[in-house]
Amino acid sequence: MEDRIGAMSRRRFLHLAGGLAATAAIGPLLADDLPRGRASLGEASLTLRPDVPGARISETLIGLSYETLQLHDARFFSRDNTALIGLCRRLNPHGVLRIGGNSSDYSIWSEYRGELPTFENPPGAVFSRPYPVTPQQLANLADFLRATGWRLIFGVNLKIDKPQMAAQLALAVQQAVGERLLAIQIGNEPNDYPGPDGKPIGYDAYLQRWQRSAQAIRAATTVPIAGPDTGANTDWVLRFAQQLPDIAAVSRHYYRGGAHDAATSIDQLLAGDPHFFAEAARMAQVAGRRGLACYLTEVNSYYSGGKLGVSNTFAAALWGGDFALAAAQAGLGGIQVHSGMLSVLEASLDKNVAAKPGEGDYKQRLDAVSGRYSPIAGDVGLGFYARPLYHGLLLAQQFGGGRFIGAELAANGANLTAYAAEKEGRQLFALFNKDARRDVDLRVALGRAAARVRLWRLQAPALEEIHQVSLAGEEVGPDGRWAPAHAEIVPVAQQQCRLRLPRGSAVLAFVEDA
């Protein structure tokens, strides 16, 4: 489930048709509302170019990813889990749920009667392998998808190389969820599968194994198949897209780095990763020539389950919103942000954690049972709440269904990114000030006549904040209820406006006519 991308800082000024972000990296520390140090004031300018149309932004921009093992609690993905349904619908009415991860390669179809290998369990395993996927789990999952309006990418086991079992499970998933099935994926991060010599297998050996399961699935049913669902490996994605004539989409994973790496920090997270987005654009380009969508089916800040003090903070909200829009700008069809219960995520990493509710207030109790990087914390018995990352993703999703327009940003040394689009006849733009030391006084040239600009601010007391976060003055409720409580109005004169963007914050702006 984990992508290994080396640490790198980002200093870039990108000006491309379609509004590519411009940014220059400065180490982040604090937001402006509760300053713990003197902020400097920088000036920047943003020029919007409505006459330069860019890439379309998929309605499926923001989705979620969960381990197959999360199905072990059949109540989790069910029509009775109304709080999670509400949070998913609020995040994106057209989202994609991916079920897979490391645990998919330790999962079996409960109705399969063929021979299976012996599954080894780590000492004191909380969940015993193999993990059965049952008809009841799939029936409940189908109800959940119908209630949310979401579609499904479902991963079947490739690691044990049992094509008939993969085919039977794929057929069962299709029969359960029907038109909600976007694709079946075969295997998870196969570029890390060990070969007979203990080293990772090569692409050719993988493809032979993949083809066996794909042929069995196609003999049993007609379902769209996607892949290769690699970790830190773009080359396999490009070869997969170019060589296989009958696939529905291509996919890979992304993590900024490892939770236990020495460089892992808020500074690193907010510095960006331009090398990856060059790869993403290449994947989208190659897939696009075939008419295929390209998804990041497992995304989050740091692999090995995330890092407390980074992955669960407001900094992750700024990173997540910025990352999602940069991914869309690169041409990707959507990202599925990895999520789930702490015990499930740890089990997928060969660790045993029998998570119990913590002490303290409601959110602290839910944090103790939740994955460190999960955008939604909680469980069926205790309830749920939207973490900072969720709010950043919600901001980005407002662009879903639109089309990027040109955006020229002069950041003047600040760690600032910008995106602009047209959606449903209205212009909107977003700015992420990931700088810890500089507030930004921004002049915006709209490139069109307008009366005013309406602002929704994404903010928290500090980048390190884990609970107090708001979008447009309001926190998303535990069942997904949310409405903007505070929208600032900025006047427009001669097609220009000025706004102040505090350090460690973001803003979503809607351009309005008279």
- Is 30 inside any structural domain? yes
Contacts of 35 (CB under 8 A, 6+ apart): none
Residue 84, SS3 per DSSP: helix
> Is residue 16 located within the same domain as residue 118?
no
- Is 105 inside any structural domain? yes
Domain end among 364, 397, 430: 397
> Is residue 69 located within the same domain as residue 52?
no
What is each CA distance from 262 to 6, 257, 331, 370, 378, in whole angstroms? 11, 10, 32, 24, 29
- Is 4 inside any structural domain? no
How many distinct structural domains can be found in the chain? 2
Predicted local distance difference test score (pLDDT) of residue 38:
62
Q: Give dist(CA 18, CA 404) in Å, integer.
A: 5
> Is residue 358 located within the same domain as residue 497?
no
Identity of the residue numbered 263? A
Predicted local distance difference test score (pLDDT) of residue 254:
98
Predicted local distance difference test score (pLDDT) of residue 356:
87
Predicted TM-score (pTM) of the model is: 0.93
Predicted local distance difference test score (pLDDT) of residue 6:
35
Q: Give dist(CA 178, CA 71) in Å, integer.
A: 18
- Domain encompassing residue 478: 11-56+402-512
Contact of 39 with 439, CB cutoff 8 Å: yes
Predicted local distance difference test score (pLDDT) of residue 18:
38
Contact of 177 with 145, CB cutoff 8 Å: yes
- Is 447 inside any structural domain? yes
Domain end among 333, 367, 397: 397
Contacts of 24 (CB under 8 A, 6+ apart): 11, 12, 13, 411, 413, 414, 415, 416
- Six-digit token pair at 507? 């803003």
Domain end among 335, 369, 397: 397
> Is residue 168 located within the same domain as residue 236?
yes
Greatest Cα pair distance in the chain: 74
- Six-digit token pair at 265? 């920090």
- E strand or H helix at 439: strand 438-445
- Six-digit token pair at 60? 């499926």
> Is residue 428 located within the same domain as residue 297?
no
Q: Give dist(CA 116, CA 424) in Å, integer.
A: 53
Nearest to 416 by CA among 305, 326, 503: 503
> Is residue 406 located within the same domain as residue 393?
no
DSSP of 141-185: HHHHHHHHT-EEEEEE--TT--HHHHHHHHHHHHHHHGGGEEEEE
Put residue 273 in one of left, alpha, beta given phi > 0 → left and psi -120 to 50 → alpha.
Answer: beta
Predicted local distance difference test score (pLDDT) of residue 37:
53
pLDDT digits (tens, 9 = 90+) for 301-327: 999 999 999 999 999 999 999 999 999
In 233-377, which ranges are continuous DSSP H helix?
234-243, 266-271, 274-289, 314-329, 342-347, 362-367
- Is 1 inside any structural domain? no
> Is residue 283 located within the same domain as residue 331?
yes
Q: Which residues of 468-496 are buried (b: 16+ CB within 10 A; e: fewer)?
A: ebbbbeebbbbbbebeeeeebebebeeee
- Is 352 inside any structural domain? yes
- Is 2 inside any structural domain? no
* CATH number for the domain that contains residue 244: 3.20.20.80
> Is residue 466 located within the same domain as residue 335?
no
> Is residue 69 located within the same domain as residue 206?
yes
Identity of the residue numbered 152? L
> Is residue 341 located within the same domain as residue 427?
no
Predicted local distance difference test score (pLDDT) of residue 25:
29
pLDDT tens per residue across all 514 residues of the chain: 444 333 333 323 233 333 334 333 222 233 333 344 567 889 999 999 999 999 999 999 999 999 999 999 999 999 999 999 999 999 999 999 999 999 999 999 999 999 999 999 988 899 999 999 999 999 999 999 999 999 999 999 999 999 999 999 999 999 999 999 999 999 999 999 999 999 999 999 999 999 999 999 999 999 999 999 999 999 999 999 999 999 999 999 999 999 999 999 999 999 999 999 999 999 999 999 999 999 999 999 999 999 999 999 999 999 999 999 999 999 999 999 999 999 999 999 999 888 888 889 999 999 999 999 999 999 999 999 999 999 999 999 999 999 999 999 999 999 999 999 999 999 999 999 999 999 999 999 999 999 999 999 999 999 999 999 999 999 999 999 999 999 999 999 999 999 999 999 999 999 999 7
- Is 213 inside any structural domain? yes
